[in-house]
Amino acid sequence: MLIPKLTNCVECVTIPNLLSEIDCKLTELAKNSYSNIVFSLNLPIPEVVILDLLNYKRILTYRLFNEDYGCYTTEKIASKIKILTHK
């Protein structure tokens, strides 16, 4: 199975940049959820994306302090985050 690599810039793969990108996407999804409740907008809320982003955030937070944590490289996690955040 082919795994796409969507990280062309080197500075985009740093853990703090990835964590801030995850936070921005989670904020956007939370605003959509709030708007759904308050204004009945019926915007889609992808639960799987939220759970995956929270899981990747946990992994990257641990990896920030211990680089050997987890079995995946930061580049693979970064490409998954790019796919999830640009939908």
Quickly tell me which residue has 């995946």 as its tokens: 72
31 within some domain: yes
User: What domain range includes position 73?
Assistant: 19-85
5 within some domain: no
In the chain (87 residues long), the average pLDDT of successive 10-residue segments reads: 57 87 95 90 88 95 89 88 85
4 within some domain: no
pTM across the whole model: 0.84
Residue 64 CA to residue 57 CA, distance in Å, equals 10
SS (H, E, C) 1-52: CCCCCCCCCCHHHCHHHHHHHHHHHHHHHHHHHHHHHHHCCCCCCCHHHHHH
2 within some domain: no
9 within some domain: no
1 within some domain: no
Q: Are 71 and 26 in contact (CB under 8 A)?
A: no
Domain total in the chain: 1
8 within some domain: no
